[in-house]
Amino acid sequence: MIAKVILVISLSLIISTTLLFPLSLNCYAASDKEVYVLQEQCGKRAHERFTYRNGIIETNNGLMLINYTYYYNKKMNKCFALLETANYKNNELISNIKELWDINENENYGKFFKYVKDKKPLACEVAKKRCNSEYAWDSLVRPYMEE
């Protein structure tokens, strides 16, 4: 009698697992589609926010070259943009600025600022974690811009 009960339970588990498995595949397909849409929206928002005069701004002191990259982070469910600005005077690089932004929340997650002539940056922080080099800043930013 106990053997029959175990057999019935085992068979019902096998049947329910077999029937539910294809449904779980559909959930992943929908999830991938949703992620794709979120990535597209992330790119559009980043473009709207960070596209300045084709990336070149003339100032009284020289030129600013601005570039950005964006990334939708699935794990965090956030759209991040990395904004990089290079400041030039007399065709010579003067300073570098990098900023990490949460596009949807309009929140600055981190900033790096360094004059080329200086050994250490004036600002180097990501999510309230301080750093002392561009390499360290890039390492702190990596988890936000990758999975």
Residues 56-77 as b or e (16 or more Cβ within 10 Å = b): eeeeeeebbebebebbbbeeee
Whether the Cβ atoms of residue 72 and residue 35 lie closer than 8 Å to each other: yes
Specify the pLDDT at position 53.
Answer: 61
pLDDT along the chain (147 residues), means of 10: 37 34 38 90 91 82 92 94 95 96 95 96 97 97 91
What pTM was computed for the model?
A: 0.74
For residues 142 and 23, what is the distance between their CA atoms, to the nearest angstrom? 34
Q: What 3-state DSSP class applies to 132?
A: coil
d(Cα 125, Cα 127) in Å, to the nearest integer? 7
The reported pLDDT for the residue numbered 31 is 82
Q: How many domains does the chain have?
A: 1
For 19, the domain range is 1-147
